[in-house]
Structure 1
Amino acid sequence: MEAFEAAYGGDVMDLSRLNLDNLSFDNLSDKRKKETRQILMCYNRLTVLSESISLFENLEFLDISCNALGALCDDITRLTKLRTLIAKNNRLDEFSLPKDFGSLQLEVLNFSGNRFEEIPAQVLQLQRLQSLSLGGNRLKTIPAEIDNLTSLELLYLGGNLISSIPMELANLPYLSYLVLCDNRIQSVPPQLNRLHTLRSLSLHNNLLTYLPREILSLVELHELSLRGNPLVVRFVKDMTYDPPSLLELAGRAIKNSNLTYSARDLPQHLVTYLDLASKCPNPKCAGVYFDSCVRHIKFVDFCGKYRLPLMHYLCSPECTSPCSSNPQSDADSEDEHSVPADRLQRVLLG
């Protein structure tokens, strides 16, 4: 250990990729214990975390990822200056934490890749927590008490078995990044529009068939990931556009130009066809259509080749195609004037 101390400064103790199952810190000098701010013990075969970890009274950062830990020792709660705890890819569950774990002053906690079936009550007591990661566990629900974490800025719960989002999640005043991908979520509560600081919302690979209109009021939202949901499959399928026939294009030109016609000039079947023209439902468009009327989504999404305006009817040259940004389109209709275009430029469907 003396050779190790000579190789590394007192600020960081890197013990990763060593067999430390019977590790004891008792033989370290008091000076070394006091000066150490970070300990890295990843990729070992630890089944228990030594109680002597509490000897590092000034420890701020502890990474014990990729071991075989089934519990955290009670002594970890004596690390009053610990701000970051990373314990990914272990064997931890909701019964693995000390009773007083919630007394820690943690700001970053990462328990991804463990065996949690619910978020422990002790975690919900961490008042200073800014980042919580529990991805790749076995969580089935998000407790309503999640709103106790009033300092939370990032919540990562991807890769679980979650089926619903509690409306209490909307009570987190500083939440900026919410990751709920790869779950079983079927709906999004409209109350999430109260997350005024939300910048990124990941919902891909869920069971969503509908997205509440209230999401549009999230002023800071720049990224919304929706790929792999039934709503996207349906919208992209519905958006498949067969170009109008030459007959329809000619008919549109005649009707839009207000050209007169009669049975003396045209065969009766063409006169009948022209009389069947329908007006575009788009109030911004005075065009007509016959057979080719395609309905799209109003939320403006980009997924490579698709830009999808909701309730947009493609019925005449004045109504733009899905990839166009013609200001005459319904995408620029009254409802969207309150939604700046640059806010919707990273909605990821593909």
Structure 2
Amino acid sequence: MEGPEVDDGDNVLNMSRLGLENLSLEQVSEDRRKETHQLLLAHNRLVVLPPSVASFSGLLLLDISSNNMAYIGEEILGLTKLKTLLAKNNRLDEFSLPKELPALRLEVLNLSGNRFEEIPSQILHMQSLKSLSFGGNRLKSIPAEIDNLISLEFLYLGGNFISSIPPELANLPYLSYLVLCDNRIQSVPPQLAQVHSLRSLSLHNNLLTYLPREILSLVQLQELSLRGNPLVVRFVRDLTYTPPTLLELAGRTVKSRGIPYSPWELPENLLRYLELASKCPNPKCGGVYFDCCVRQIKFVDFCGKYRLPLMHYLCSPECSSPCSSASHSESDSEDEAHAAARRMQKVLLG
């Protein structure tokens, strides 16, 4: 068995895999404790954090991964310089962390491979976090308060039971890497396209059937993973269409024919309604719609290499744009449909 102190380099104290019976931080000299910047305690069958950890006053990184810890005590709060906490593969849950954890000013927090069913509220107040990992837990949702993490650049939530993406993710100004693979996500909110810093988006092995058209505005996106989703390869025609109301028919007539009106001629509620008109994307149509439209899915080239299924809106079932007509003829061929499916499976850049 190795000795209790294994030094892998300057300011690094590696005591991983020593075993609980040989792990003795008390034997480390006081000077050595002050000089240590990285303390590695993985694979030691720890049940609790050794109280002597608090004496490592200069610690920047603490690795307590792959132990048997069900909670992290307040001893960790004494590590006022700590920037990185790695606590993967333990038995931690949302009740396992001290309430004062935000006082640590952590930048990297990895809690993957634990038993969290929700993200603890104290973590949502850690505005210094740049990297947060909760992969392989039991999360069912992403709280809207995630947008409190204003410094976040890397968010890993793969391997959970998440069913939806909150639009509040769009409020993270520096988010560059978002991993949501191996969940139960059925749709992507169009607001996600507002994360202009996003470079990598992993959505493979979910329940996606289409992507919002706005996703094309992610000009910084370099990696996109969509494999293992039921993304459609044939176009869905006339998914839903409820006949327009008399109000909408009148509004369409006014807007499409350019009938002039002035603010003093119409009630205020009708003026607001007319301002909500959306133009039909078919250039040969020239029509508009308000609440009633036809949803279709069409494939659009992305980055010149891949074809993504995006939601497409038309003003009526009879309205067929040249783009959708060409796409229909392509999807009418089974060979082309299979070819499209193969192309979709290649949307894996990371």
TM over 0.5: yes
Superposed CA deviations along residues 113-154 of structure 1, whole A, max 9, x for unmatched, are 000000001111111100000000000010111001000000
Query: Is 1:32 aligned to residue 32 of structure 2?
Result: yes
- Shift in Å, 1:4: 5.5
Q: Is the 8 A contact 2:15 2:23 kept in 1?
A: no
Q: Secondary structure at the match of 1:155?
A: strand
Aligned twin of 1:14? 14
Aligned twin of 1:175? 175
1:110-259 alignment runs, 5 A limit? 110-231=110-231, 234-235=232-233
**Counterpart residue type for residue 101 of structure 1:** L
- Shift in Å, 1:313: 3.2
- Shift in Å, 1:102: 1.4
The one of 288, 296, 299 equivalent to 1:297 is 299
Measured in 1, the distance between the counterparts of 2:183 and 2:26 equals 44
**Counterpart residue type for residue 327 of structure 2:** Y
Query: Is 1:88 aligned to residue 88 of structure 2?
Result: yes
Measured in 2, the distance between the counterparts of 1:308 and 1:215 equals 10
Q: Secondary structure at the match of 2:155?
A: strand
Measured in 2, the distance between the counterparts of 1:309 and 1:187 equals 12
Q: Is the 8 A contact 2:300 2:307 kept in 1?
A: no
Measured in 1, the distance between the counterparts of 2:44 and 2:304 equals 43
- Shift in Å, 1:5: 5.1
- TM-aligned CA distance change 1:127 to 1:22, over 3 Å: farther
Structure 1 window deviating more from structure 2 (114-123 vs 221-230): it is: 221-230
Measured in 2, the distance between the counterparts of 1:206 and 1:63 equals 31
Q: Is the 8 A contact 2:56 2:79 kept in 1?
A: yes
Aligned twin of 2:253? none
Q: Quick one: percent identity of the two aligned structures?
A: 63
Q: Secondary structure at the match of 1:214?
A: helix
- Shift in Å, 1:308: 6.4
Q: Is the 8 A contact 1:202 1:225 kept in 2?
A: yes
Aligned twin of 2:327? 313
Q: Is the 8 A contact 2:223 2:349 kept in 1?
A: no
- TM-aligned CA distance change 1:298 to 1:24, over 3 Å: same
- TM-aligned CA distance change 1:22 to 1:119, over 3 Å: farther
- TM-aligned CA distance change 1:94 to 1:300, over 3 Å: same
* TM-score where L is the length of structure 1: 0.69
Query: Is 1:67 aligned to residue 67 of structure 2?
Result: yes
Superposed CA deviations along residues 259-312 of structure 1, whole A, max 9, x for unmatched, are xxxxxxxxxxxxxxxxxxxxxx999xxxxxxxxxxx961143899xx7568745
Structure 1 window deviating more from structure 2 (133-142 vs 14-23): it is: 14-23
Measured in 1, the distance between the counterparts of 2:180 and 2:328 equals 34
- Shift in Å, 1:20: 2.2
Measured in 1, the distance between the counterparts of 2:3 and 2:94 equals 39
Measured in 1, the distance between the counterparts of 2:157 and 2:6 equals 41
- Shift in Å, 1:3: 6.3
Measured in 1, the distance between the counterparts of 2:300 and 2:9 equals 57
Measured in 2, the distance between the counterparts of 1:164 and 1:12 equals 41
CA RMSD of aligned residues (A): 3.3
Whichever of the two has the greater Rg, that structure is 1
**Counterpart residue type for residue 111 of structure 2:** F
Which blocks of at least 5 consecutive residues in structure 1 are unaligned? 239-280, 284-294, 323-343
**Counterpart residue type for residue 97 of structure 2:** L
- Shift in Å, 1:171: 0.2
- TM-aligned CA distance change 1:134 to 1:121, over 3 Å: same
Measured in 2, the distance between the counterparts of 1:68 and 1:92 equals 9
Q: Secondary structure at the match of 1:298?
A: strand
Q: Is the 8 A contact 1:301 1:308 kept in 2?
A: no
Pairs aligned (count): 268
Measured in 1, the distance between the counterparts of 2:68 and 2:5 equals 26
- TM-aligned CA distance change 1:193 to 1:307, over 3 Å: closer
Measured in 2, the distance between the counterparts of 1:3 and 1:64 equals 19
Aligned twin of 1:101? 101
**Counterpart residue type for residue 59 of structure 2:** L
